[in-house]
Chains A and B, each alone.
Chain A
């Protein structure tokens, strides 16, 4: 018996030894073009991406390659062009220098196609705002960031100082905001609560202008904005940050992430506070309400195998607005979800199943009674399945479907009642790489909304043709917005002044978007020109109903918007960079009809920056500006009659910001910013005027604790 056991033991030893001897341990360093080590660069097997590691503080890595695997390594780092290479057989070493992605075209984007794709290959035009750009912009709010980066976007106030978006003629309910691809529950005056989109740990923001309902369904009429959170790729990271600005504007944040074995986690807490601002001049509003927010997020990923992983997430959000001495408005959200992703057929196929929960509540804290009374709750439970099948070199077939239960309790319903709606959809998309120069995309989606009894078929067709340094893209896409529960069932007494009624017979909004884009890239320069035309039928709005003696949601005449964007940018290795963008928006109004559009026709953004890095100190100084033209509009003098209008001129303005971001030693970043450099102050504060009282200063510090200890 002992002899048998000895033989088995020896056999196992031999097998283990042979397996170990078949493994290869390779190492090397990853640097930038100037030889500076890149910390945290991802190094993985090209054909087995889950087998990989990250570089340490000296840019060094060590990777064990299992027996029988192709040793080709893929090295990538955010902001740099990925490279592949094979380690030397003799030395088992591979050193790679990555070149900076000056044009950003090597960025992987997902929003336009729902599959990861390099920006240079994406047939759907996607604008990306990177994490580095977010840091340099020193924006505290997604609105501030989008306005600084993209012309044609304006965040202003609607009634009661509620934030409202205008994106080249489209309002907040026609632009779909996503957080890591998930819808966001709740709205106020047709806009989501943008404060929920905390900028900590954002890897990038992707913006797709134009309709995208063939992939995303309702609300993707004017565009999609997808905020994508970074992955935890290092053993551990910890960051603490703080920012203090004018009007006691404070922001504090902390993040912790780890990657251990099959688990990785990312936790973030952010708190903001702002005092009320007395604007000191007349206007549609004279005081900006003070507010505070708390935002807590956790995401945990379990990589069960190389091919199967699960991601769970949970979040809590709280905002309080000091509306008056007697009432404080409170906004809360509770969100969570779980997602499983399985890839098979050698990575050519993958399937994703996800469940998502999002609840958004509004309540009023009555300061005299200390009662916190909820009067609004929107709860969305969604199930989603997505399947991707890759064929040939780069062809991708995407098939998916969603099911959502949408519950809404609202003070705007009779007796604070509630309504619910079920929606389901199915979609398919073919992303074809026809030749090296030509690619095409086609998609179709069917949506059904139970309460609205709305059926809709959205389609999309896009093509991209590359020739030399140019690429041309053309697309048609359909947009769709189902009537919301609010729009169907509202019965709201507006301060005893008039009633607003819903309409159960509303038809869905349907849009057609045509766009053409030409892009020219040479070296470190790029120029992009985009032209588009949008037609929206059955758009939903409120109008006076004589029979009801109140306002009612109705379908209105078509909206037609056309325009073009021009963008140019340049970036040199010496650290100098510049960009300028201009957007022209034109809403078609028939001759003789009132000019009711309040969209500013001309908007532009510009930026000049200089970035230098020495061994233990670096800085980036950025001067950025945005320009909004004035707009003249006709406003009806009466809510119950559409016969008389008065002409109103909203002035244009320009805002300049100077920021200095300094990188000190390991992981310490200090930012100083001066906003509104020209000390612009509106003579009258319209709802679409910037709520500035003149030049303001801000200072922020961010410490990456892990880098100090590494």
Chain B
């Protein structure tokens, strides 16, 4: 009788345990992924909306440019491709395609700083965009066969250093530079940029969070004096 009770208890325990754990246990120790940035895309509200803040963009699509206009605080997305009739907006400062960048006639320097808002060191070298035919990849599906499709476009090599993507091995390795880049726009404005993240909270790559700092006129004068 005693043995029968032990077996009954054992079988009941086994049945309960197996039913409660069919699809696993301790789900609560994990975080639930969010498919977008915490506060949506575009310019995020900040205390000092005119001088500094964050821009979040969805750059997951290889066939899109996202144009950022720091004066009007707007972002605009266009399709890339022969069939596309999309044109760049009338006003924009920089544009982002995946992790690649281009500027609207500006030049960019890389600083040693990792905090925005610091003066530019003397002797900094600014680099303008270059025209490329092999940097803006629009179709990676032939990569393993050496057949990546590219769009011809201007490209800023210095600003694009904000994220290093090493594709020599699979899966690619991503490394943020963590540095501040100064963009000297053609109208004389200076903007400090730092790529603070390239993933959304769910870990999906291509969701870019860009911190920016627009230099006040007085500081811009100093910058211009230091770097004529």
Q: List the interface of chain A (C-beta within 8 A of B).
A: 159-160, 284-285, 304, 308, 310, 324-327, 334, 336, 338, 340, 355, 357, 359, 361, 363-364, 366, 368-369, 371-374, 377, 379, 381, 383, 405, 407, 409, 418, 494-498, 549, 638-641
- Considering the chains assembled together, what is the distance between the CA atoms of A310 and B173 in angstroms? 49
| B143: interface (CB < 8 Å) | yes
**Closest-CB distance, B167 to chain A (whole angstroms):** 8
Main secondary structure of the interface of A (DSSP, over half): strand
Contacts of B172 in A (CB 8 A): 495
Which of A334, A379, A549 lies in contact with B141, CB distance below 8 A? A549
Let me know if A371 and B173 touch, CB within 8 A. Answer: no
Task: Say whether B140 contacts A359, CB under 8 Å.
Answer: no
A and B contact pairs by CB, cutoff 8 A, 20 listed: A159-B170, A284-B169, A324-B175, A325-B176, A334-B26, A338-B10, A355-B14, A357-B21, A363-B30, A364-B203, A372-B30, A372-B31, A373-B31, A383-B18, A405-B18, A418-B23, A495-B170, A497-B170, A640-B142, A640-B144
In the complex, chain A residues whose CB is within 8 Å of the CB of B13: 338
B10, A326: Cβ atoms closer than 8 Å: no
Asked if B31 and A371 make an inter-chain contact with CB atoms under 8 angstroms apart, the answer reads yes
Known contacts A379-B22, A379-B23, A641-B145; 16 additional CB pairs below 8 A are A308-B6, A310-B10, A340-B10, A359-B24, A371-B31, A371-B33, A371-B202, A373-B33, A374-B30, A377-B24, A381-B21, A407-B23, A418-B23, A495-B172, A498-B141, A640-B142
Bound: A381/B201 CA distance, A: 32
Tell me the smallest distance from the CB of A364 to a CB of chain B, in Å: 5
Q: For A334, what are the chain B residues with a Cβ–Cβ distance below 8 Å?
A: 24-26
Q: Which residues of A are found within 8 Å of B17, using beta-carbon distances?
A: 336, 355, 357
- Asked whether any CB of chain A lies closer than 8 Å to the CB of B87, the reply is no
The docked-state distance in angstroms from the alpha carbon of A550 to that of B27 is 33
Contact B199 A366 (CB under 8 A): yes
Instruction: Give the distance in Å from the alpha carbon of A371 to the alpha carbon of B26 in the complex.
Output: 16
Complexed CA–CA distance, A502 and B67 (Å): 38
Report the nearest B residue to A495, measured CB to CB: B171
- Complex Cα distance A383/B26, Å? 22
Interface string of B109-145 (1 = CB under 8 A from A): 0000000000000000000000000000000111111
Question: 8 Å CB contacts to A: which residues of B202-219?
Answer: 202-203
List the A side residues contacting B197 at CB < 8 Å: 326, 368
Q: Which listed residue, A340, A368, A379, A549, touches B199 by the CB 8 Å rule?
A: A368
Q: How far is the CB of B39 from chain A (nearest CB, A)?
A: 13
Interface centre among A304, A363, A497, A639 (most CB of B within 10 A): A497
Residues of A within 8 A of B23 (CB): 377, 379, 407, 409, 418
| Nearest CB on A from B179, distance (A) | 14
Q: List residues of chain A with CB within 8 A of the CB of B145.
A: 638-641
Minimum CB–CB distance from B150 to chain A (whole Å) comes to 14
CB neighbours (8 Å) of B143 from chain A are 497-498
At the interface, yes or no: B29 with Cβ under 8 Å from chain A?
A: yes
For A368, give the chain B residue with the smallest CB separation. B197
Residues from chain B with a CB closer than 8 A to the CB of A381 are 18, 21-22
CB distance from A622 to the nearest CB of B (A): 36
Enumerate chain B residues within 8 angstroms of A363, measured Cβ to Cβ. 30
Interface centre among B3, B7, B26, B30, by most chain A C-beta atoms within 10 angstroms, is: B30
Given the complex of chains A and B, what is the CA–CA distance between A110 and B196 in angstroms? Answer: 56
Contacts of B62 in A (CB 8 A): 496
Contact B140 A357, beta carbon cutoff 8 Å: no
Measured between alpha carbons, how far is A369 from B198 in the docked complex, in Å?
12
Residues from chain A with a CB closer than 8 A to the CB of B14 are 338, 355, 383
**Which residues of A are found within 8 Å of B202, using beta-carbon distances?**
366, 371, 373
Rounded to whole angstroms, the CA-CA distance of A638 and B142 in the bound complex is 9
The residue of chain B having its C-beta at the shortest distance from the C-beta of A336 within the complex is B17
Q: Chain A contacts of B199 at CB under 8 A?
A: 326-327, 366, 368
Write the chain B residue with the least CB distance to A640. B145
CB-nearest residue of chain B to A381: B18
Is A497 in contact with B144, judged by CB distance below 8 angstroms?
Answer: yes
Given A357-B21, A371-B203: A495 in contact with B30 (beta carbons within 8 A): no
Distance A355 CA – B22 CA, assembled complex (angstroms): 13
The 7 tightest CB contacts between A and B, nearest first, are A639-B144, A371-B31, A374-B30, A355-B14, A379-B24, A369-B201, A638-B145
Interface centre among B33, B199, B203 (most CB of A within 10 A): B203
Q: With A326-B176, A381-B22, A405-B22 known to touch, is A496 a contact of B140 (CB < 8 Å)?
A: yes
Give the chain B neighbours of A494 by CB distance below 8 A: 170-171
Q: Are B22 and A366 in contact (CB under 8 A)?
A: no
Q: With contacts A326-B199, A357-B17 known, is A160 near B26, CB below 8 A?
A: no
Q: How far is B23's CA from A622's CA once the two chains are assembled, in angstroms?
A: 47
Question: Nearest residue in B to A641 (C-beta to C-beta)?
Answer: B145
Identify the closest chain A residue to B143 (Cβ): A497
Q: A374–B59 Cα gap in the complex (Å)?
A: 23
Shortest B129–chain A CB gap in Å is 25
